[in-house]
Amino acid sequence: MSTTVTTARGPVRGERRADGSLRFLGIPYAQPPVGDLRFAAPVPPEPWTEPLDATAYGPTAQRRPFGEVVIIPEPTIPGDGVLNLNVFTPDADPEAGLPVLVWIHGGGYVAGSAASPWYDGAAFNRDGVIVVSLGYRLGIEGFLHLEDAPDNRGVRDWIAALEWVRDNIAAFGGDPAKVTVAGQSAGGGAVQTLLAVPSAQGLFRAAISVSGAALRPDGPEVARAVSRLLTSRTGVPATVAALRDLGDDEILALQDRLAEQGPDREGVPALLALAPFADGELIPVPVQDALTSGEAGADVPLMLGFTEHEFTMIPAPGPEGPPLPVLLGGLGLDVGRTEAFTKAYEEGGEALLFGQALTDATFRAPNLAVADARAARERPTWLYEFTWRSPLLGLSFHCLDLPFAFDVLDAEGVAPVAGDTPPRALADAVHRAWVAFVTHQDPGADWPRYTSGGRATMIWDAEPRIAEDPLSGVRAIWLD
């Protein structure tokens, strides 16, 4: 059964699902970023009068999956109108005033898809929460610094989508004053970035950063170095004129060249070279600095955390690569800290040390630093670590927590990574905490705030529990 809702730009026709909830897919929040708009700031869509069919997912900016650590089914859908979003709602009652979860997908800022079955909003709808998932420009189109284009175009897309939610979500039953922005991996980094963007303030009241990636230095000098590297390796100037008319395959080929390792990468991050950066305008200062030493997002309740073994499955380079102490040194560990690190994880075996170091340096330590800094200023913060291990791999790896948060244990792609019988009680507990946080800006009485005095941390395992400062070893090795 179809249902039509009128947005500020025109009517959209969605579908009522078997459980009674509604979904509206592929709604444009900006014009297709093609031609003169390809590297421009997002522009609102032209109005329309006839109902727009919103019963199928819209085009995705992803043109191929990202790396080996992503386990999420992420469809690639061709088309130009990639700046679209999806709304899952219990019922389109303009008087309902329901809380809203706005979801930003991950994918290393170069891939990912809002059309994943893992991001289905049905369970949240069941519990009185609207879900909005959004697509945004990726890679070169979203994040490469160009002298003749606005910086951080992907970030501008997130803001445009949040503005769409502010202006339209009431028609779908939501309250624009009750928006929580959330995301995982690059999406978790997006959430932290939005906390540091002045123009995004007021568009959401709470935030959830899941495995937020914080890896690179992110000032304008780094962004310019990335642009220079692209040109030196490919001969293609980092300008709108040179890039605007290139096809998808040509853009991907340029990104592949940019990702290659080599001695000419001085000043360029080894990973996430195409990512949000502090441009001095939209993002005034580096996000990590803003969150650990400034007032960014000061009054916004923040839930953040990570899995215990995010990237632990990634092996160290083979015999031809640098030895482990050199690799750990590249991640910031001196001799003494390297010894402490290897001793702390010796039970896992040497084969897992490099991947665990990537996990700590990329996710656990940076997010712990944010939590500690906010706690020192008495900001509302809740920290967690997801430690339940897949029976198939024996690790709690990157993305494994998402089916539990969205309560989609029966979705496509879950059994191959979580086994046939992942713990239902854990999904109930994680999902219930998310619903409570989105609804009340607090995950519940059984999960106390993270403070400097106690550092209470939720441990998501088969039997969830609160632990007092369980990450002290991570802090001692990477932060103190």
The amino acid that residue 378 corresponds to is E
CA distance 450 to 381: 6
| Token duo for residue 295 | 């007032």
Q: Tokens for 64, please give them.
A: 């191929």
Structure tokens at 287: 């996000």
Which residues on adjacent β-strands are paired with residue 470? none
Tokens representing 122 are 């049905």
- Answer yes or no: 185 catalytic: yes
281 is catalytic: no
**E-state strands within 351-464:** 381-386, 456-460
Of 248, 197, 168, the C-alpha closest to 8 is 168
| Residue in the structure block whose two tokens are 């380079």 | 317
User: Is the separation of the CB atoms in 472 and 480 below 8 Å?
Assistant: no
Active-site residue, selected from the candidate residues 211, 310, 385, 431: 310
Enumerate the H helices of 306-380 as residue ranges: 324-330, 335-344, 353-359, 365-376
Among candidate residues 182, 212, 164, the one with its CA nearest the CA of residue 45: 164
End-to-end CA gap in the chain: 58
Contacts with 346 (C-beta within 8 Å, 6 or more apart), sequence order: none
Check 185, 209, 211, 396 and give the catalytic one: 185
Burial (0-12, 13-18, 19+ Cβ within 10 Å), 68: exposed
Cα separation, 104 vs 182, whole angstroms:
6
310 in catalytic set? yes
| Cα–Cα distance measured from residue 142 to residue 304, given in angstroms and rounded to the nearest whole number | 25
- Collapsed DSSP state (helix, strand, coil) of residue 181: strand
The radius of gyration of the chain from alpha carbons, rounded to an integer in Å, stands at 22
Distance CA 296, CA 300 (A): 9
> Alpha helix locations (H) across 235-352?
240-243, 248-259, 287-293, 324-330, 335-344
Eight-state DSSP code of residue 362: I
Angle between helices 186-195 and 153-168 (to 10 degrees): 70
* Residues designated catalytic: 185, 310, 398
